[in-house]
């Protein structure tokens, strides 16, 4: 054991060294995972697993070790006493202390057992999904829910376990709050979807025109530039499922998947992931290598990706700049398409079975199906064996569709097999935050439509950077929303936005 940090300067330097080492380990884990998703061969998985397990154990030991505990205690005391007055450092200590407390709550043997269970569940789920075989995966759901309830109780024995998990993904979020959110959104969306179902859909054969991989690749870079990524601090890679990751100050990357007969899948994946990456790129550089680097929550992260993908990316105003990019790369397909035709085509609202392919309007209904089932699993009202029936009922009820098989039903998402329960709500919150940002932007003098129409999104980025991006993990979601919008989350904005946009699109 090293000597306790004797002066505030020494303490500051010791804390920063601890943060830097944690950061380095996490950077290496992310690089190794990215390598696994983008280029590593199949048979390299065992070695990667070994290395990731090694780093995860080192990271947990470092974060929760005696030395780190002592440093956090000394740091908190120094802030309390007024020996540390630097606001950033105080934030670092607060966030480090919370990370440490939560990591410490789970005993190492539980952590190892959980990691093993998730690994196993994930492997079984992959096969089960391919074979649409619910039964083989079913036992894992009950085991996972039990394990996660135990984790939640270890983190906070005084609260409802599902609330504890929601709070892990979106600080401050409770089931009561999300219930109210769902009630309000459902009340708007379900009748809207029904009304639209009676209207004709636009013709848009160009959506499935063949656009070669090479063309889609170079087009993707133009979209990253349009979002405003610093291209010297970003990269594009190709994966089974698109994702993005912030690795470091100066390194946030986007991945996409190209289907030659579905250009828009690539277009909106890239814009979405670029929205995540630009958030990571614009965290205050002073936070580099500290606990404050990176995005603050899943919901806030999703609000950034969806703002670029939907709120701007699927707005009427943006069709001009978007069409210019499409025409530059695929003139034979987009030369004759008008802005209006493009706008209608990228906003076709129609119930469908797969969440990741759902349109902006029906998307929240997919979240509600999952959320309701998770709640029932956690309350004990339902068990894994009830899921297929509940999934079918809720899909019929909300989307008016029959579930033809489990692959397009309860096996479609990777979240549960990955041990993530309480995660889905953050997707719906992202869009709701966006709808609330719009009047705030307007009030602050930012003309979003003018920026979208010009293709120069700098004014929007400046506002997002000031209100959201630069704060990194120093502020939690509720605080950011309150400061940006002057009010807490209010689903009314989201409902109004959907009613206005889709009402106009379908002439309701």
Parallel, antiparallel, or unpaired for β 251-256 and 244-248? antiparallel
Q: Which residues bind a second copy (CB under 8 A)?
A: 20-21, 24, 27-28, 31-32, 34-35, 38-48, 50-51, 54-55, 213-214, 230-235, 237, 247-251, 253, 289
| CB of 61 or CB of 231, closer to a second copy | 231
Burial class (CB in 10 A: 0-12, 13-18, 19+), 96: buried
Helix/strand/coil for 193: helix
| CB of 245 or CB of 309, closer to a second copy | 245
- 248-280 as b/e, with b when 16 or more CB fall inside 10 Å? bbebbbbbbebeeebbbbbbbbbbbbbbbbbbb
- Shortest separation between residue 224's beta carbon and a second copy, angstroms: 11
β-strand partners of 252: 246
- Shortest separation between residue 24's beta carbon and a second copy, angstroms: 5
> CA nearest 279: which of 301, 256, 307, 309?
301
**For the chain, what is the radius of gyration of the CA atoms?**
23
Looking at residue 309, the DSSP 8-state letter turns out to be I
Spatial distance between the Cα atoms of 271 and 313, rounded to a whole number of angstroms: 7
> CA nearest 298: which of 412, 411, 482, 422?
422
Span between the terminal Cα atoms of the chain, in Å: 70
| CB of 209 or CB of 248, closer to a second copy | 248
- Shortest separation between residue 45's beta carbon and a second copy, angstroms: 8
| CB of 109 or CB of 232, closer to a second copy | 232
- Shortest separation between residue 36's beta carbon and a second copy, angstroms: 9
Burial class (CB in 10 A: 0-12, 13-18, 19+), 390: middle
Which pair of structure tokens corresponds to residue 378? Answer: 């956690």
Burial class (CB in 10 A: 0-12, 13-18, 19+), 296: buried
- H helices, E strands: number in the chain: 21, 3
| CB of 228 or CB of 425, closer to a second copy | 228
- Shortest separation between residue 50's beta carbon and a second copy, angstroms: 6
Which pair of structure tokens corresponds to residue 78? Answer: 């120094």
| CB of 36 or CB of 422, closer to a second copy | 36
| CB of 54 or CB of 381, closer to a second copy | 54
Which pair of structure tokens corresponds to residue 366? Answer: 């997919």
| CB of 26 or CB of 444, closer to a second copy | 26
Spatial distance between the Cα atoms of 421 and 417, rounded to a whole number of angstroms: 9
- Shortest separation between residue 18's beta carbon and a second copy, angstroms: 13
| CB proximity list for 123: less than 8 A, separation 6 or greater | none
- Shortest separation between residue 296's beta carbon and a second copy, angstroms: 20
Cα dist. 250→224, 225, 412 in Å?
15, 16, 34
- Shortest separation between residue 276's beta carbon and a second copy, angstroms: 15
CA 222 to chain centroid, in Å, comes to: 23
- Shortest separation between residue 120's beta carbon and a second copy, angstroms: 20
Instruction: Look at phi and psi of residue 55 and say left if phi exceeds 0, alpha if psi is from -120 to 50, else beta.
Output: alpha
| CB of 25 or CB of 431, closer to a second copy | 25
| CB of 24 or CB of 262, closer to a second copy | 24
- Shortest separation between residue 247's beta carbon and a second copy, angstroms: 6
> CA nearest 303: which of 285, 330, 283, 276?
276
**Which one is catalytic: 273, 280, 360, 374?**
273
Do residues 344 and 501 make contact, with C-beta atoms less than 8 angstroms apart?
A: no
Q: Is 302 a catalytic residue?
A: no
By annotation, the residues acting in catalysis are: 273
């Amino acid at each position: 054991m090293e000597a306790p940090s004797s002066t505030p300067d020494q303490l500051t330097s010791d804390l920063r060294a601890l943060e830097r080492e944690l950061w380095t380990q996490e950077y290496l884990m992310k690089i190794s995972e990215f390598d696994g998703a983008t280029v590593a061969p199949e048979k390299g998985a065992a070695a990667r697993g070994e290395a990731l397990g090694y780093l995860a154990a080192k990271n947990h030991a470092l974060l929760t070790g005696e030395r780190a505990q002592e440093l956090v205690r000394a740091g908190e005391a120094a802030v309390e006493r007024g020996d540390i007055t630097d606001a950033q450092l105080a934030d670092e200590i607060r966030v480090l202390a919370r990370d440490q407390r939560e990591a410490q709550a789970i005993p190492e043997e539980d952590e190892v057992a959980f990691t093993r269970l998730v690994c196993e569940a994930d492997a079984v789920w992959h096969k089960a999904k391919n074979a649409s075989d619910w039964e083989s995966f079913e036992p894992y759901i009950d085991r996972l829910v039990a394990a996660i309830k135990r984790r939640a109780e270890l983190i906070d024995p005084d609260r409802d376990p599902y609330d504890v998990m929601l709070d892990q993904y979106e600080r401050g979020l409770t089931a009561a709050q999300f219930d109210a959110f769902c009630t309000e959104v459902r009340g708007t969306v379900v009748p809207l979807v029904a009304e639209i179902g009676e209207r004709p859909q636009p013709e848009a054969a160009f959506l499935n025109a063949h656009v070669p991989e090479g063309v889609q690749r170079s087009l993707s870079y133009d979209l990253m530039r349009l979002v405003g990524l610093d291209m010297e601090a970003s990269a594009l890679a190709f994966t089974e499922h698109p994702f993005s990751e912030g690795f470091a100050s100066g390194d946030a990357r986007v991945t996409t998947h190209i289907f030659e007969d579905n250009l828009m899948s690539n277009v909106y994946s890239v814009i979405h992931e670029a929205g995540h990456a630009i958030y990571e790129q614009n965290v205050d550089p002073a936070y580099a290598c500290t606990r404050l680097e990176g995005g603050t929550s899943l919901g806030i992260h999703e609000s950034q990706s969806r703002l670029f993908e939907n709120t701007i990316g699927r707005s009427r105003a943006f069709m001009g700049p978007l069409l210019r990019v499409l025409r530059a790369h695929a003139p034979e397909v987009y030369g004759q398409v008008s802005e209006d035709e493009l706008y209608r085509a990228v906003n076709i609202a129609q119930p469908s079975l797969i969440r990741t392919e759902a349109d902006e309007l029906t998307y929240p209904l997919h979240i509600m199906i999952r959320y309701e089932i998770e709640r029932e699993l956690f309350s004990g009202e339902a068990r894994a064996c009830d899921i297929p029936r509940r999934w079918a009922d809720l899909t019929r009820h909300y989307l008016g569709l029959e579930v033809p098989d489990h692959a397009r039903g309860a096996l479609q998402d990777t979240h549960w097999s990955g041990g993530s329960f309480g995660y889905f709500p953050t997707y719906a919150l992202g869009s709701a935050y966006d709808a609330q940002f719009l009047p705030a932007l307007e009030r602050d003098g930012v003309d979003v439509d003018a920026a979208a129409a010009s293709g120069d999104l700098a004014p929007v980025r400046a506002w997002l950077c000031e209100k959201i991006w630069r704060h990194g993990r120093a502020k939690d979601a509720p605080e950011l929303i309150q400061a940006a919008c002057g009010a807490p989350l209010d689903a009314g904005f989201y409902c109004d936005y959907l009613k206005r946009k889709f009402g106009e699109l379908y002439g309701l």
